Structure 1
Amino acid sequence: MSRLHGTKDFWIGALRAEGPAFAAALAEAPPETPVLSCPGWTVTDLAVHLGGVYQWVHTFVGTGETSAPARREEIELPPGTSAAQFWQHSYDQLIALLDGLDPEAPAWNWAPQPKKAGFWIRRMAHETAVHRWDAQLAIAAGDPIETKLATDGVSEVLDTMLPAGRRTASGQWRGVVHLGATDADQEWYLRLRGEGVALLDTDTILDHDDHHARVRVAGTASDLVLALWGRISFDTLAVTGDATLLAGLRTG
């Protein structure tokens, strides 16, 4: 299959696992510890950023509105509140909201897909997982993202982030990229055409179809999604073919 169709319970379960792991890393790291995977950030910056994303989502998801909300603003911590406390409060609020949310309810999103609340349950699960990895890396850890979640994370980059134009670089790439998760029996074919992208449905691709894949990448699902998010280099994975196309897959 070209993508994994998660469910609300799956993504909420991921949030419930990744959130405490993020909090544990925050508790272990001094506030000014650099986050190596987010140059220029400390763990305080990371916690404030993620808590701010949670609070912003909380302002509009569940209202039933599909028009764009106000832009997310910079967060200033209340006096006497630590970044970890701010993050924890924001996380608890988000979990309470999403837990009672109908994923089919109307809700704005920035992607070229249906405006439904389920988008944000999925998005927050993956946002938290990647930043949990960032926080753990700051304390010389960085556990892999769970395989099923990472597999859906790869799909999210390919079916949501890139079609929405959320690339870290601009360019004119042309060709088919083949990604394969070695621990999940999952593969993806993505066609790049200039600024455009198209995720090919492997359920409808026949064995005799010629995909003309110009580059193939193999690795664990966790390594694939971390490479797509720019956390690790594609050079650490098994790459054959024209690696220059991989710059067109980076999101952020």
Structure 2
Amino acid sequence: MLDVERYFLELESETVRLAGLSHDADSQCPIPTCPGWTLEQLVGHVGRGHRWAAELIRRRLLEPIPMQEAVVPADPDERSEWLTAGARMLADAVRAAGPEQVVWTWQKDRTAGFWVRRMLHDELVHRFDAELALGIEGDLAADLAADGVSDILETAATLSRPDIGVSSAFAGLAGTGESLQFLATDTDLGPNCEWSVVRAPAGVTWRHGYDQAQVTVRGPALQLMLLLNRRLPVGTADVEIVGDQELFAHWLANSRF
């Protein structure tokens, strides 16, 4: 994980970036990586998420609450302000409560700070959704992309457990000891450049570090993040896959989020 202040900074930056994309593009532009969504609906999803998490934290809630509907402004200036205002609400709520404040989350980390990181990574992926739809080649700092790889693996570890009590698209990742290795080729990532993953009967487990695995996927952290979030097809991602190709294909087929 990165420092919480970095998450605050990147949340603000990413929201401004997405607001700019939304401001200058057709709000009804379809988003191929989110089938059935338009750019307006993507912005609505992100903005509602900010407000929902902010409300949960402001009220120090230990149980989830329904996500409220929200009308995305049609005017580009108002739409941009609406989106950035939601991110400010979330950041202000976390700062007021303190990042260590106990609140409801759906992972082991039950702190307000969890929501800054989770909503940031959700927004990062959706910023790339918008850029891919608009034919823009996006970029991202390698350490933040690597943190995004860890984020999606944490999601898989939680939602692949048979005992979570809800139906999950990740349930098929529970296995019998199958192993995968993800390696980021960027320099200066230190120990955060390797992820060792096992598909166990109780769900996915992972740790930073290297182990021999049945399949290894190697490439820049950003390519790994986009691939694991199913934003790039295997054939177009700048990665090398060595070993059991079908095992990795099974992972992708069972990790829709």
Amino acid at match of 2:33: S
Q: Which residue matches 1:162?
A: 156
Q: Which residue matches 2:141?
A: 146
Q: 1:201 to 1:24 in 2, by over 3 A?
A: closer
The 2-side partners of 1:61 and 1:88 are apart by: 18
The 1-side partners of 2:203 and 2:117 are apart by: 23
Question: Do the aligned residues in 2 keep the contact of 1:161 with 1:251 (CA within 8 Å)?
Answer: no
Secondary structure in structure 1 of the residue aligned to 2:37: coil
Query: 148-157 vs 193-202, which deviates more?
Result: 193-202
The 2-side partners of 1:182 and 1:45 are apart by: 35
How far 1:179 sits from its partner (Å)?
Answer: 0.2
Amino acid at match of 2:247: L
Q: Which residue matches 1:208?
A: none
Q: Percent identity?
A: 27
Q: 1:140 to 1:192 in 2, by over 3 A?
A: same
Q: Which residue matches 1:118?
A: 113
Q: Which residue matches 2:217?
A: 217
Q: 1:79 to 1:223 in 2, by over 3 A?
A: closer
Q: Which runs of 5+ in 2 are unaligned?
A: 161-167
Say which structure, 1 or 2, has more relative contact order (CA 8 Å, 6+ apart): 1
The 2-side partners of 1:156 and 1:251 are apart by: 14
Query: Residues 139-197 of structure 1, C-alpha deviation per residue, up to 9 Å, x if partnerless?
Result: 21141232111111111112x20122166454254411000011145111001124611
Q: 1:233 to 1:19 in 2, by over 3 A?
A: same
Which residue of 216, 238, 241 corresponds with 1:239? 241
The 2-side partners of 1:97 and 1:229 are apart by: 28
The 2-side partners of 1:92 and 1:104 are apart by: 18
Whether 1:7 and 2:9 are equivalent positions in the alignment is no
The 1-side partners of 2:17 and 2:72 are apart by: 22
Question: Do the aligned residues in 1 keep the contact of 2:40 with 2:72 (CA within 8 Å)?
Answer: no
Question: Do the aligned residues in 2 keep the contact of 1:170 with 1:248 (CA within 8 Å)?
Answer: no
Whether 1:96 and 2:92 are equivalent positions in the alignment is yes
Q: 1:88 to 1:118 in 2, by over 3 A?
A: closer
Amino acid at match of 1:181: A
Query: Residues 69-105 of structure 1, C-alpha deviation per residue, up to 9 Å, x if partnerless?
Result: 2222443457989654432332232233234441111
Whether 1:30 and 2:32 are equivalent positions in the alignment is no
Whether 1:178 and 2:181 are equivalent positions in the alignment is yes
The 1-side partners of 2:68 and 2:4 are apart by: 28
Secondary structure in structure 2 of the residue aligned to 1:103: coil
Q: 1:141 to 1:99 in 2, by over 3 A?
A: farther
Instruction: Give the number of equivalent residue pairs.
Output: 238
How far 1:138 sits from its partner (Å)?
Answer: 2.2
Query: Residues 114-156 of structure 1, C-alpha deviation per residue, up to 9 Å, x if partnerless?
Result: 3111111111211121111112222211412321111111111
Query: Residues 34-62 of structure 1, C-alpha deviation per residue, up to 9 Å, x if partnerless?
Result: 11211111100101111111111111114
Choose between structure 1 and 2: higher helix proportion: 2
| RMSD between aligned residues | 2.4
Question: Do the aligned residues in 1 keep the contact of 2:214 with 2:243 (CA within 8 Å)?
Answer: yes
TM-score, normalised by the number of residues in structure 2 = 0.83
Whether 1:132 and 2:127 are equivalent positions in the alignment is yes
How far 1:223 sits from its partner (Å)?
Answer: 0.9
Secondary structure in structure 1 of the residue aligned to 2:159: coil
The 1-side partners of 2:157 and 2:171 are apart by: 13
Question: Do the aligned residues in 2 keep the contact of 1:173 with 1:245 (CA within 8 Å)?
Answer: no
TM-score, normalised by the number of residues in structure 1 = 0.84
